[in-house]
Amino acid sequence: MSFNPELEKLYSPSMWSRRYGSAELISKFVELSHKVVDEARKTIPCQIDIPYGSSERMKYDIYGTNLSNDAPVVIFIHGGYYQEGSKETIGFGIPSLVAQGIKVILLGYDLCPAVKLADIVGQIKVATTEILTISKKNEATNVWIVGHSAGAHLAASLLHDVEWRARMAERNLLPLLKGIALFGGIYHLRDILDLSTNAVLQLTEEEIKKYSFNDLDTTELTPVEGINVIVGVGECDSPEFIQSSKHYAQQLLKFVDRVHYIFFRNSTDHFDIVENLLNPDNLLTKLIIHNVKQEAL
Protein backbone atom coordinates (compact mmCIF):
# COMPACT_ATOMS: atom_id res chain seq x y z
CA MET A 1 0.00 0.00 0.00
CA SER A 2 1.35 3.43 -0.95
CA PHE A 3 0.96 6.48 1.29
CA ASN A 4 0.62 10.17 0.50
CA PRO A 5 3.98 11.74 1.48
CA GLU A 6 2.42 15.18 2.04
CA LEU A 7 -0.19 13.74 4.40
CA GLU A 8 2.49 11.70 6.18
CA LYS A 9 4.50 14.89 6.76
CA LEU A 10 1.46 16.80 8.06
CA TYR A 11 1.01 14.17 10.76
CA SER A 12 4.72 14.03 11.62
CA PRO A 13 5.38 16.92 14.05
CA SER A 14 9.11 16.21 14.15
CA MET A 15 9.34 17.27 10.48
CA TRP A 16 8.49 20.90 11.23
CA SER A 17 11.05 21.97 13.83
CA ARG A 18 13.65 24.60 13.00
CA ARG A 19 16.14 23.15 15.50
CA TYR A 20 17.06 19.72 14.15
CA GLY A 21 16.11 17.14 11.58
CA SER A 22 13.35 14.71 12.49
CA ALA A 23 15.44 11.78 13.75
CA GLU A 24 17.87 13.97 15.71
CA LEU A 25 15.02 15.97 17.25
CA ILE A 26 13.31 12.86 18.58
CA SER A 27 16.60 11.36 19.77
CA LYS A 28 17.54 14.49 21.70
CA PHE A 29 14.03 14.72 23.19
CA VAL A 30 14.15 11.16 24.51
CA GLU A 31 17.73 11.56 25.76
CA LEU A 32 16.94 14.78 27.62
CA SER A 33 13.72 13.45 29.11
CA HIS A 34 15.41 10.36 30.54
CA LYS A 35 18.27 12.49 31.87
CA VAL A 36 15.81 14.76 33.70
CA VAL A 37 13.90 11.84 35.20
CA ASP A 38 17.07 10.00 36.23
CA GLU A 39 18.31 13.12 38.02
CA ALA A 40 14.93 13.70 39.66
CA ARG A 41 14.87 10.17 41.02
CA LYS A 42 18.24 10.82 42.68
CA THR A 43 17.49 14.25 44.11
CA ILE A 44 13.74 14.51 44.72
CA PRO A 45 11.82 12.26 47.14
CA CYS A 46 9.65 10.02 44.99
CA GLN A 47 7.77 6.77 44.70
CA ILE A 48 8.29 4.87 41.45
CA ASP A 49 6.21 2.33 39.52
CA ILE A 50 2.99 2.39 41.52
CA PRO A 51 0.65 -0.09 39.78
CA TYR A 52 -2.92 0.85 38.90
CA GLY A 53 -3.53 -2.23 36.74
CA SER A 54 -2.15 -5.64 35.90
CA SER A 55 0.12 -4.86 32.95
CA GLU A 56 3.77 -3.77 33.10
CA ARG A 57 3.09 -0.27 31.76
CA MET A 58 0.04 0.49 33.91
CA LYS A 59 2.10 2.30 36.53
CA TYR A 60 2.73 5.85 37.68
CA ASP A 61 5.45 7.71 39.56
CA ILE A 62 4.98 10.38 42.24
CA TYR A 63 7.59 13.12 42.75
CA GLY A 64 7.52 15.34 45.81
CA THR A 65 6.47 12.69 48.30
CA ASN A 66 8.05 14.83 51.01
CA LEU A 67 5.44 17.54 50.45
CA SER A 68 2.38 17.78 52.66
CA ASN A 69 -0.56 15.46 51.97
CA ASP A 70 -2.72 18.39 50.88
CA ALA A 71 -0.24 19.62 48.26
CA PRO A 72 -1.75 20.13 44.80
CA VAL A 73 -1.12 17.43 42.20
CA VAL A 74 -0.28 17.64 38.49
CA ILE A 75 -0.57 14.48 36.39
CA PHE A 76 1.49 14.33 33.18
CA ILE A 77 0.45 12.05 30.29
CA HIS A 78 3.10 11.34 27.65
CA GLY A 79 2.72 11.21 23.88
CA GLY A 80 4.21 8.94 21.23
CA TYR A 81 1.32 8.35 18.81
CA TYR A 82 -0.15 5.73 21.19
CA GLN A 83 2.67 3.36 20.19
CA GLU A 84 5.87 4.82 21.66
CA GLY A 85 7.10 6.75 24.68
CA SER A 86 6.78 6.11 28.38
CA LYS A 87 6.17 7.98 31.61
CA GLU A 88 9.89 8.71 31.62
CA THR A 89 9.47 10.92 28.53
CA ILE A 90 7.22 13.53 30.16
CA GLY A 91 9.15 14.48 33.31
CA PHE A 92 10.42 17.91 32.29
CA GLY A 93 8.21 19.73 34.78
CA ILE A 94 9.34 17.79 37.85
CA PRO A 95 12.06 20.16 39.18
CA SER A 96 10.14 23.40 38.59
CA LEU A 97 6.81 22.22 39.98
CA VAL A 98 8.07 20.32 43.02
CA ALA A 99 10.15 23.38 43.95
CA GLN A 100 6.84 25.27 44.09
CA GLY A 101 5.20 22.74 46.41
CA ILE A 102 3.36 20.81 43.69
CA LYS A 103 3.42 17.02 43.51
CA VAL A 104 4.10 15.62 40.04
CA ILE A 105 2.73 12.32 38.79
CA LEU A 106 4.02 10.72 35.57
CA LEU A 107 1.44 8.32 34.15
CA GLY A 108 2.25 5.27 32.04
CA TYR A 109 -0.10 3.20 29.90
CA ASP A 110 -0.08 0.29 27.47
CA LEU A 111 0.79 0.92 23.83
CA CYS A 112 -0.52 -0.16 20.44
CA PRO A 113 -0.50 -2.71 18.90
CA ALA A 114 -0.54 -4.69 22.17
CA VAL A 115 -3.81 -2.92 23.01
CA LYS A 116 -6.37 -0.81 21.14
CA LEU A 117 -6.85 2.94 21.49
CA ALA A 118 -10.07 2.30 23.39
CA ASP A 119 -8.11 0.26 25.94
CA ILE A 120 -5.63 3.10 26.46
CA VAL A 121 -8.44 5.61 26.97
CA GLY A 122 -9.91 3.24 29.55
CA GLN A 123 -6.58 2.97 31.36
CA ILE A 124 -6.30 6.76 31.61
CA LYS A 125 -9.71 6.86 33.29
CA VAL A 126 -8.80 4.07 35.71
CA ALA A 127 -5.56 5.81 36.69
CA THR A 128 -7.18 9.23 37.00
CA THR A 129 -9.95 7.81 39.17
CA GLU A 130 -7.39 6.19 41.47
CA ILE A 131 -5.30 9.35 41.75
CA LEU A 132 -8.37 11.51 42.41
CA THR A 133 -9.51 9.05 45.09
CA ILE A 134 -6.14 9.14 46.85
CA SER A 135 -5.92 12.92 46.47
CA LYS A 136 -9.34 13.34 48.08
CA LYS A 137 -8.29 11.12 50.98
CA ASN A 138 -5.15 13.24 51.38
CA GLU A 139 -7.27 16.41 51.21
CA ALA A 140 -5.20 17.69 48.29
CA THR A 141 -6.17 21.22 47.32
CA ASN A 142 -6.63 20.36 43.63
CA VAL A 143 -5.55 18.15 40.74
CA TRP A 144 -4.53 19.18 37.22
CA ILE A 145 -3.79 16.99 34.21
CA VAL A 146 -1.26 17.94 31.54
CA GLY A 147 -1.21 15.97 28.29
CA HIS A 148 1.33 16.25 25.48
CA SER A 149 0.79 15.13 21.88
CA ALA A 150 -1.21 11.88 21.97
CA GLY A 151 -1.27 12.37 25.74
CA ALA A 152 -3.24 15.58 25.17
CA HIS A 153 -5.84 13.61 23.23
CA LEU A 154 -6.00 11.02 26.02
CA ALA A 155 -6.45 13.72 28.66
CA ALA A 156 -9.17 15.33 26.55
CA SER A 157 -11.06 12.03 26.48
CA LEU A 158 -12.06 12.65 30.10
CA LEU A 159 -14.04 15.72 29.06
CA HIS A 160 -16.02 13.79 26.47
CA ASP A 161 -17.04 10.88 28.71
CA VAL A 162 -20.27 12.07 30.31
CA GLU A 163 -20.72 8.82 32.26
CA TRP A 164 -17.21 9.00 33.72
CA ARG A 165 -17.70 12.62 34.78
CA ALA A 166 -21.03 11.68 36.37
CA ARG A 167 -19.41 8.86 38.36
CA MET A 168 -16.68 11.20 39.54
CA ALA A 169 -19.31 13.74 40.57
CA GLU A 170 -21.30 11.10 42.49
CA ARG A 171 -18.17 10.19 44.46
CA ASN A 172 -17.40 13.89 45.03
CA LEU A 173 -14.12 13.48 43.14
CA LEU A 174 -14.86 15.73 40.17
CA PRO A 175 -14.59 18.98 42.18
CA LEU A 176 -10.93 18.12 42.81
CA LEU A 177 -10.13 18.13 39.08
CA LYS A 178 -9.63 21.83 38.45
CA GLY A 179 -7.85 21.84 35.13
CA ILE A 180 -6.75 19.97 32.02
CA ALA A 181 -3.92 21.42 29.92
CA LEU A 182 -3.43 20.09 26.40
CA PHE A 183 -0.26 20.80 24.42
CA GLY A 184 0.58 19.74 20.87
CA GLY A 185 -2.46 17.51 20.78
CA ILE A 186 -4.12 15.61 17.97
CA TYR A 187 -7.92 15.80 17.94
CA HIS A 188 -8.78 14.85 14.34
CA LEU A 189 -8.08 11.15 13.82
CA ARG A 190 -9.79 10.30 10.54
CA ASP A 191 -6.71 10.91 8.38
CA ILE A 192 -4.76 8.38 10.44
CA LEU A 193 -6.61 5.65 8.57
CA ASP A 194 -4.57 6.67 5.51
CA LEU A 195 -1.21 6.93 7.30
CA SER A 196 1.54 4.33 7.60
CA THR A 197 1.33 4.60 11.38
CA ASN A 198 -2.09 2.94 11.32
CA ALA A 199 -0.36 -0.35 10.54
CA VAL A 200 0.55 -0.28 14.24
CA LEU A 201 -2.45 1.58 15.64
CA GLN A 202 -5.02 -0.40 13.64
CA LEU A 203 -7.68 2.18 14.35
CA THR A 204 -11.20 1.14 13.44
CA GLU A 205 -14.01 3.27 12.02
CA GLU A 206 -15.78 2.95 15.37
CA GLU A 207 -12.76 4.30 17.25
CA ILE A 208 -12.38 7.15 14.75
CA LYS A 209 -16.01 8.18 15.24
CA LYS A 210 -15.79 7.97 19.03
CA TYR A 211 -12.40 9.57 19.64
CA SER A 212 -12.00 12.12 16.83
CA PHE A 213 -13.05 14.95 19.10
CA ASN A 214 -12.92 17.70 16.49
CA ASP A 215 -15.64 15.91 14.54
CA LEU A 216 -18.03 15.07 17.39
CA ASP A 217 -21.49 16.49 17.94
CA THR A 218 -21.18 18.29 21.28
CA THR A 219 -24.88 19.13 21.70
CA GLU A 220 -25.55 16.12 23.92
CA LEU A 221 -22.56 16.66 26.20
CA THR A 222 -23.34 17.93 29.69
CA PRO A 223 -21.65 21.26 30.47
CA VAL A 224 -18.22 21.24 32.08
CA GLU A 225 -18.48 23.96 34.70
CA GLY A 226 -15.62 23.57 37.17
CA ILE A 227 -12.67 22.54 35.01
CA ASN A 228 -10.33 25.00 33.32
CA VAL A 229 -9.10 23.76 29.95
CA ILE A 230 -5.97 25.14 28.29
CA VAL A 231 -5.18 24.27 24.67
CA GLY A 232 -1.69 25.18 23.48
CA VAL A 233 0.45 24.58 20.41
CA GLY A 234 3.80 25.85 19.12
CA GLU A 235 4.28 27.83 15.92
CA CYS A 236 6.75 25.23 14.62
CA ASP A 237 4.44 22.29 15.18
CA SER A 238 2.82 20.65 12.17
CA PRO A 239 0.29 22.90 10.40
CA GLU A 240 -2.25 20.12 10.88
CA PHE A 241 -1.64 20.02 14.63
CA ILE A 242 -1.88 23.82 14.82
CA GLN A 243 -5.19 23.88 12.97
CA SER A 244 -6.48 20.93 14.97
CA SER A 245 -5.69 22.70 18.26
CA LYS A 246 -7.43 25.91 17.16
CA HIS A 247 -10.49 24.00 16.02
CA TYR A 248 -10.61 21.92 19.19
CA ALA A 249 -10.47 25.01 21.40
CA GLN A 250 -13.51 26.29 19.52
CA GLN A 251 -15.25 22.94 19.94
CA LEU A 252 -14.61 23.00 23.67
CA LEU A 253 -16.26 26.40 24.02
CA LYS A 254 -19.55 24.73 23.11
CA PHE A 255 -19.66 22.77 26.38
CA VAL A 256 -16.76 23.90 28.59
CA ASP A 257 -17.20 27.16 30.49
CA ARG A 258 -13.54 28.12 30.79
CA VAL A 259 -11.28 27.54 27.78
CA HIS A 260 -7.96 29.24 27.01
CA TYR A 261 -6.08 28.89 23.71
CA ILE A 262 -2.38 29.75 23.60
CA PHE A 263 -0.16 29.93 20.52
CA PHE A 264 3.50 29.67 21.53
CA ARG A 265 5.79 31.67 19.24
CA ASN A 266 9.61 31.99 19.36
CA SER A 267 9.95 28.96 17.06
CA THR A 268 8.41 26.67 19.69
CA ASP A 269 8.01 23.19 18.22
CA HIS A 270 6.17 20.02 19.15
CA PHE A 271 8.90 18.91 21.53
CA ASP A 272 10.40 21.94 23.23
CA ILE A 273 6.92 23.12 24.17
CA VAL A 274 7.27 20.64 27.06
CA GLU A 275 11.08 20.57 27.26
CA ASN A 276 10.81 24.23 28.28
CA LEU A 277 9.11 23.18 31.51
CA LEU A 278 12.66 22.74 32.80
CA ASN A 279 12.88 26.53 32.89
CA PRO A 280 10.95 27.96 35.88
CA ASP A 281 10.69 31.29 34.06
CA ASN A 282 9.20 29.80 30.90
CA LEU A 283 5.68 30.96 29.99
CA LEU A 284 4.19 27.47 30.12
CA THR A 285 5.87 26.64 33.43
CA LYS A 286 4.60 29.83 35.02
CA LEU A 287 1.15 29.31 33.52
CA ILE A 288 0.78 25.85 35.05
CA ILE A 289 2.14 26.91 38.43
CA HIS A 290 -0.05 30.03 38.51
CA ASN A 291 -3.23 28.11 37.68
CA VAL A 292 -2.53 25.29 40.12
CA LYS A 293 -1.70 27.66 42.96
CA GLN A 294 -4.65 29.91 42.18
CA GLU A 295 -7.00 26.93 42.55
CA ALA A 296 -5.31 26.06 45.85
CA LEU A 297 -6.32 29.37 47.43
Q: How far apart are CA 257 and CA 73, in angstroms?
A: 22
Tell me what the mean pLDDT of segment 76-100 comes to. 98
* 160 catalytic per annotation: no
pLDDT given at position 22: 97
The pLDDT mean for the chain works out to 96
The per-residue pLDDT for range 192-222, each reduced to its tens digit, is 999 999 999 999 989 999 999 998 888 878 9
Q: How far apart are CA 159 and CA 223, in angstroms?
A: 10
* 14 catalytic per annotation: no
Q: Is the pLDDT of residue 297 over 60?
A: no
pLDDT given at position 289: 97
The per-residue pLDDT for range 119-141, each reduced to its tens digit, is 999 999 999 999 999 999 999 99
Tell me what the mean pLDDT of segment 61-80 comes to. 98
Which listed residue (12, 149, 157, 245) is catalytic? 149
pLDDT given at position 218: 83
Q: Is the pLDDT of residue 83 over 90?
A: yes
The per-residue pLDDT for range 10-23, each reduced to its tens digit, is 999 999 999 999 99
Which listed residue (61, 237, 269, 272) is catalytic? 237
Q: Is the pLDDT of residue 60 over 90?
A: yes
The per-residue pLDDT for range 244-267, each reduced to its tens digit, is 999 999 999 999 999 999 999 999
Tell me the C-alpha to C-alpha distance, in Å, between residue 220 and each of 5, 23, 174, 248. Answer: 37, 42, 19, 17
Contacts of 168 (CB under 8 A, 6+ apart): 129, 132, 174, 177
* 270 catalytic per annotation: yes
